[in-house]
Amino acid sequence: MSIVTIDGVKVEVEAEATILDAARKAGIWIPTLCYNPSVSNLATCRLCMVELDHGEEGQLVTACNYPVRRDIVVSVSSNRAKQARRGVMELLLARAPESEQLKELARRMGVEGTPYPTVTESQHNCVLCGLCTSVCEEVIGCSAIGFTGRGVDRIVAPPFHLTAEECIACGACAAVCPVGTIEVRIHESTGEAEISPFKARAKLLVCKECGANLVTEPVIRQMFDKVKIEWEEFRKRASLCPACRRKRSAEALGLVAAKSREVNFASGKD
Amino acid sequence: MPSEIIQEIVSRYEGDIGMLIPMMQDLQVEFGYLPAEALHRLSKQLELPLTRIYGVATFYSSFRLTPRGRHEVTLCMGTVCYLKGAGRISEVICGEYQIEPGGTTSDRLFTLQAVNCVGACALAPVMIIDGRYHDHVTPESALKIIHGLQAESETAEKGAE
Amino acid sequence: MTLSGSKVIESPADLEDLREKLRKQLKPSAKSVRVCIGTGCAAKGARRLYELFLQAAGESGNGVEIEAKCVGCHGFCERGPIVVVQPGNIFYQGVEEQDVGEIFRETVIGGRIVERLLYEDYITGEKARTADEIDFYKAQMRIVLAENGSIDPTSIEDYLVSGGYSALARVLRTMDPEQIIAEVDRSGLRGRGGGGFPTARKWRSCRGAEGSPKYVICNGDEGDPGAFMDRSIMEGNPHAVLEGMIIGAYAIGASQGYIYVRNEYPLAVDHLSRAISRIRDLGLLGEKILDSSFSFDIRINRGGGAFVCGESTALMASLEGRVGEPRAKYVHTVESGLNSKPSNLNNVETWANIPAIINRGGEWFSSIGTQSSKGTKVFSLVGNVENTGLVEVPMGITLREIIYKIGGGIKDGKSFKAVQTGGPSGGCIPAAHLDVRVDFDELTKLGSMMGSGGMIVMDQDTCMVNIARYFLSFLKDESCGKCTPCREGISQMLHILDRITHGEGETGDLEKLESLAELLTETALCALGKTAANPILSTIRYFRAEFEEHIRDRHCPAKVCRGLFLYEIDPELCTGCGICKKNCPAEAISGERRKPHVIDQTKCTKCGICLEKCTFNSILKV
């Protein structure tokens, strides 16, 4: 256990916890963009810079992946740290000028705009945080998309920039994208879900009862690989949306019908 | 595309994925570039996602994903070569043959590649053609050497007719 | 002189026996011709020279044994191909095929000098018979490069005869790991790749780290443009690097070594591979080396073509079959490096210093150099100097001595403007600081750094704004793209510099550059990003006026930036031949035959074709 003194607040953290963990425990907000607890920490965005007290000279480090191995003193609100975070955000705003989520984060940080012009032509509105590629590889296990190229012209794409063969159109990448660049689009006419901008499409399965969008076929197939029952049986059980399934169960149990909740699959919000 | 080649290369390195880059270098020597199919097969052989292999292929400058010209023309763009006019030499070659750096001429005669410093700075500007170094090149002498390649292949073609 | 059979060397005694045997085979008065086949000389046809000399030596029926040998880089690449004749150490430069016969007849057989092939001092006209008489070599102190030029890098025999692997034998027979590290500590050796980190401290940390297997890695990814020290060491004396690595591995407790050589150095890969094969066959690599309990092996990996792989964590990622992306170093690589195991990475030159330190003692090494920087350093002195090539000098020598005494001063009678040190991570140093004593710390104080040893000398016709732009453009290509500040920041800085060099600079540009520079230094993930701003910061620091002239006056004082200076025809020199007029794509030149022509500045696009075509030097840049 080590003690982290963060902006004057002392918190105790376990071995290998990060400064970010300590900050959350202390109730101190540090802006993050590329951080997500479900995937490995690449620390690509550099937005969470904080100042580590090293006696005479402080050192700027990224809070999300700096491992606390002994008692340390950290300053989140020092001028030096604030200026660094502001600078990084200004660069990000120039990179992804159309992202509402990014602008909102900037406002929360007190950054109103950017003095820099947008100078990159490649991948529109992407900050190359790596969350989509990480989640696809580590959580979903498909590795349908990855980084291609090097440097400022790097983009996230399927191999050979063709349609992603491995993509199951699950929407995890859209869910983790912090700037709203990746979207799931539902095509009602063809009954397909599309992951934009990767051009991956898959047939959507709908609820037998209410017709709400469920999951895509490839996702269902991947789920099926993990259960030990026959496909037909599985398909039967997986034919209702959660709301309808709850309604059926409540009816079966003779309870009064539960308050029905709309689940909008496209946005994933309740 | 014989899958034996891929298999041979993989076993040459005992299937060690840490040796992915040398494997791809050997593949490139075999085919002259990295054909998509070869990368697909490599992905299956090594049980590595194709995105990972494609990522490596597009990250490192020495890998080519399109067929190359018959000759490899490399211009050094290191500081000293640059100061001694390598930029102009590149411009002149690109202008005459209607290509961009990294591109291949339409008749597949050669591929022009820029590299960052080959460590022969005392000989700047340096041009390497098919592994052979040419020192102190100028736009004129560079063109002359490349015209020589053209003449060579034309005589070769005539001989074949 | 060759080793017959491949009897394994099973003990230090075996090694000494072999060495004695080889030395006995040497004939002191033997005549030999040493042809340098380093990349620089090979580029000018040195291999063919070697073949011709070999042929001549074979056909010579004098009864005297004549040896033709190929040797590694002497460092004086501009004067190549270099051929040295023994006895007498006669140093011939610029040798061509047609000279072979004459050299053989006159010098090898007849003992006479071929005057015209000797090095001639460009000021005094004096000719030098041997390398020691040439200023370029006089002030050098060759420790790492000592054997370059006398041993055949493709044979182990030469290396053994000159004492090779005796340091290894001594270490395995009489020293334990702590003693070895203590010796390196005593020497004060600091990393030669640019970081300057105390080598003994690194070894000690790795030795003390938990985890196995442990790795030692040699960073041969010399990417700084203008630097070719490591190339010459790997090509010219590969065994020195290997011996250093084996000693280091023993001290650290590593069982596997890697040498990462950049893809653009095929000859280095070849010579290192042969050397490794050879010592493996002889038992100096592998299981239970020299009858000890120490087992170790080395593998070579070629880079894929990425400057960023010179950074240690990116190099290790590459060795893992990944893209060369650096990672955070909050946990050092000596604790968790390659495959998350303790890994000790050192530069080629660092490893090559180890055998000498063991053989002659750490104290000897620390008697050379300055308080903070011990030993010698190999620099590649290139650019607008008379004598370009590799120089090995004691730390503490001044820039003036290197550039003027060894380098022979600025070429073509021009004046010195700046010297760029440390490659894309370093900066420019102007004339005012020529007397700085070169070491790790002094150059850093001036806003540059020693880096891996590249020293690019620039004369009065260099545009410093253009230089800054060049380095940023280089870094933009080479940035891995992982982190925001480097990826976006370098692009933004380059964008500003592009505007400035195209006459579109704005007030506030310099301040923007400085603030971006600070941002990069503070927030970038790796050393490439953190030091990316050095070239621009140092050029602004010492040449601010030049930047301001570009921005305010849209004029390039060095007359390099296209469009920011004028072309004018000197009426005194112009013969009226009309070639410029004929070739001008903008039809901006007018004039009658045999009368001075004139450029219409309102039409001139400043393409420069007229200057290229004029054979009378009558077109001026203004």
Of A42, A91, A147, the CB nearest to C485: A91
The values of phi and psi at residue C22, to 5°, are -65, -40
Q: Mark out chain B residues that contact chain A at CB-CB < 8 A.
A: 36, 39, 49-55, 58-60
Q: In the predicted model, what is the mean pLDDT of residues C314-327?
A: 97
Query: If you ran DSSP here, which 8-state letter would residue C310 be given?
Result: G
Question: How far A200 CA lies from chain B's nearest CA (Å)?
Answer: 15
Class of the CATH-defined domain C464-553: mainly alpha
CATH superfamily of C163-366: NADH-ubiquinone oxidoreductase 51kDa subunit (3.40.50.11540)
Residue pLDDT, tens place only, A189-216: 998 999 988 888 999 988 888 888 888 9
Q: Are C478 and C574 in contact (CB under 8 A)?
A: no
**Chain-wide mean pLDDT for chain C?**
93
What is the Cα–Cα distance from C227 to B118, expressed in whole angstroms?
A: 9
- Any chain B CB within 8 A of the CB of A148? yes
- Which tokens in the block code for residue C445? 């104080």
Question: How far A21 CA lies from chain B's nearest CA (Å)?
Answer: 31
Can you give the pLDDT at residue A260?
A: 47
Can you give the pLDDT at residue A264?
A: 41
Question: How far A150 CA lies from chain B's nearest CA (Å)?
Answer: 5
Q: In the predicted model, what is the mean pLDDT of residues A66-92?
A: 96
Class of the CATH-defined domain C567-621: alpha beta
Residue among C477, C522, C530 with most chain A CBs within 10 A, to mutate: C522
Q: Are C226 and B81 in contact (CB under 8 A)?
A: no
A113 CB burial (10 A radius; 0-12, 13-18, 19+): exposed
- Which tokens in the block code for residue A269? 């919000």
Query: If you ran DSSP here, which 8-state letter would residue C106 be given?
Result: I
Q: In the predicted model, what is the mean pLDDT of residues A3-11?
A: 95
CB-CB neighbours of C54 under 10 Å: 17
Q: In the predicted model, what is the mean pLDDT of residues A23-45?
A: 95
Domain with CATH 3.40.50.11540 in chain C: 163-366
What is the Cα–Cα distance from C122 to C107, expressed in whole angstroms?
A: 24
User: Percentage of chain C surpassing pLDDT 70?
Assistant: 98
Assess whether pLDDT exceeds 90 at residue C496. yes
- Any chain B CB within 8 A of the CB of A31? no
- The chain A residue lying nearest B43, using CA atoms, is A159
CB-CB neighbours of A165 under 10 Å: 13
Q: Are C533 and C493 in contact (CB under 8 A)?
A: yes
Of C428, C397, C378, C351, whose CA–CA distance to C167 is shortest? C351
- Which tokens in the block code for residue C279? 């010592």
Query: If you ran DSSP here, which 8-state letter would residue C290 be given?
Result: G
Can you give the pLDDT at residue C311?
A: 96
Question: How far B60 CA lies from chain A's nearest CA (Å)?
Answer: 8
Can you give the pLDDT at residue C269?
A: 96
Residue pLDDT, tens place only, A142-169: 999 999 999 998 999 999 988 888 899 9
**Chain-wide mean pLDDT for chain A?**
89
In chain C, DSSP finds a helix count (H) and a strand count (E) of 24, 19
Can you give the pLDDT at residue A270?
A: 41
Confidence of residue C308 (pLDDT cuts 50, 70, 90): very high
Query: If you ran DSSP here, which 8-state letter would residue C610 be given?
Result: H
Residue pLDDT, tens place only, C522-549: 999 999 999 999 999 999 999 999 999 9
CATH T-level fold of C29-134? Glutaredoxin (3.40.30)
Chain C contact partners (≥3 CB pairs within 8 A): A, B
CB-CB neighbours of C350 under 10 Å: 25
Which stretch, B125-139, C39-53, C108-122, C453-467, has highest mean pLDDT? C453-467
HSE of B130 in the Cβ direction (CA atoms, 13 Å)?
8
Cβ of A137 and B51 within 8 Å?
yes
Can you give the pLDDT at residue A30?
A: 97
Cβ of A43 and C489 within 8 Å?
no
- List of long-range contacts for B127-131, beta carbons under 8 Å, 24+ apart: B127/B73, B127/B74, B127/B75, B127/B76, B127/B89, B128/B72, B128/B73, B128/B74, B128/B76, B129/B71, B129/B72, B129/B73, B129/B74, B130/B71, B130/B72, B131/B72, B131/C266
Assess whether pLDDT exceeds 90 at residue C61. no
Question: How far C376 CA lies from chain B's nearest CA (Å)?
Answer: 21
C443-456 in b/e form (b: 16+ CB < 10 A) is bbebbbbbbbbbbb
- Which tokens in the block code for residue A107? 């406002």
Can you give the pLDDT at residue C1?
A: 46
C353 CB burial (10 A radius; 0-12, 13-18, 19+): buried
Cβ of C484 and A60 within 8 Å?
no
Cβ contacts (< 8 Å) between C73 and chain B: which residues? none
Confidence of residue C5 (pLDDT cuts 50, 70, 90): low
Cβ of B61 and C302 within 8 Å?
no
DSSP C211-224: -SS-EEEEEE---S
Confidence of residue C3 (pLDDT cuts 50, 70, 90): low
Residue pLDDT, tens place only, A260-269: 444 444 444 4
Q: Which domains does chain B have, with CATH numbers?
A: 3-59 (no CATH), 71-160 (3.40.30.10)
Chain A contact partners (≥3 CB pairs within 8 A): B, C
- The chain C residue lying nearest B122, using CA atoms, is C78
Q: Are B22 and C302 in contact (CB under 8 A)?
A: yes
Q: Are C126 and C132 in contact (CB under 8 A)?
A: no
Confidence of residue B123 (pLDDT cuts 50, 70, 90): confident
Domain with CATH 3.30.70.20 in chain C: 567-621
What is the Cα–Cα distance from B62 to C318, expressed in whole angstroms?
A: 14
- Which tokens in the block code for residue C584? 């001008």
C537-549 in b/e form (b: 16+ CB < 10 A) is bbbbebbeebbeb
Q: In the predicted model, what is the mean pLDDT of residues A92-113?
A: 95
What is the Cα–Cα distance from C243 to C154, expressed in whole angstroms?
A: 15
Residue pLDDT, tens place only, A214-255: 889 898 888 888 887 888 877 777 788 888 888 888 888 887
* B97 contacts: CB under 8 Å, gap ≥ 6: B105, B109, B110, B112, B146
DSSP chain A: -EEEEETTEEEEE-TT-BHHHHHHHHT-----SS--TTS-----S-TTEEEEP-TTS-EEEETTT-B--S-EEEESSSHHHHHHHHHHHHHHHHHSTT-HHHHHHHHHHT----SS-----SSTT-----HHHHIIIIII-----EEESSGGG-EEE-GGGS--SS-----HHHHH-TTS-SEEEEETTTTEEEEETTTEEEEEEE-TTT--EEEEHHHHHHHHTTS-S-HHHHHHHTTS-HHHHHHHHHHHTTPPPPPP---BTTTTB-
Residue C121 Cα to chain centre, angstroms: 24
What is the Cα–Cα distance from B77 to A23, expressed in whole angstroms?
A: 47
- Which tokens in the block code for residue A180? 């709203």
Q: In the predicted model, what is the mean pLDDT of residues B18-25?
A: 95
User: Percentage of chain C surpassing pLDDT 90?
Assistant: 83
Confidence of residue C585 (pLDDT cuts 50, 70, 90): confident
Q: How many residues does chain A have?
A: 270
Can you give the pLDDT at residue A225?
A: 81
Residue among C76, C316, C323 with most chain B CBs within 10 A, to mutate: C323
Class of the CATH-defined domain A2-109: alpha beta
Of B88, A154, A138, A62, whose CA–CA distance to C308 is shortest? A154
- Which tokens in the block code for residue C536? 């621009």
Cβ of A67 and C330 within 8 Å?
yes
Q: Residue C413, by phi and psi: left (phi above 0), alpha (psi -120 to 50) or beta?
A: left
Assess whether pLDDT exceeds 70 at residue A259. no
Of C432, C38, C517, whose CA–CA distance to C237 is shortest? C38
What is the Cα–Cα distance from B153 to B69, expressed in whole angstroms?
A: 12
Q: Are A193 and A185 in contact (CB under 8 A)?
A: yes
- Any chain B CB within 8 A of the CB of C183? no
Cβ contacts (< 8 Å) between A160 and chain B: which residues? 36, 54
Residue C200 Cα to chain centre, angstroms: 24
Q: Coil, strand, or helix at residue B110?
A: strand
- Which tokens in the block code for residue C9? 């060397």
Cβ contacts (< 8 Å) between C420 and chain B: which residues? 79
Q: Coil, strand, or helix at residue B58?
A: helix
Residue pLDDT, tens place only, C167-220: 999 999 999 999 999 999 999 999 999 989 999 999 999 999 999 999 999 999
What is the Cα–Cα distance from C467 to C505, expressed in whole angstroms?
A: 16
Can you give the pLDDT at residue A267?
A: 45
Confidence of residue B79 (pLDDT cuts 50, 70, 90): confident
- The chain B residue lying nearest A146, using CA atoms, is B51
CATH architecture of C376-459: Roll (3.10)
CB-CB neighbours of C123 under 10 Å: 10
- The chain B residue lying nearest C481, using CA atoms, is B59
Q: Coil, strand, or helix at residue B56?
A: helix
Hey, where are the domains in chain A? 2-109, 131-252
Residue pLDDT, tens place only, B23-56: 999 999 999 899 999 999 999 999 999 999 999 9
Residue among A41, A45, A46, A50 with most chain C CBs within 10 A, to mutate: A46
Cβ of B123 and C77 within 8 Å?
yes
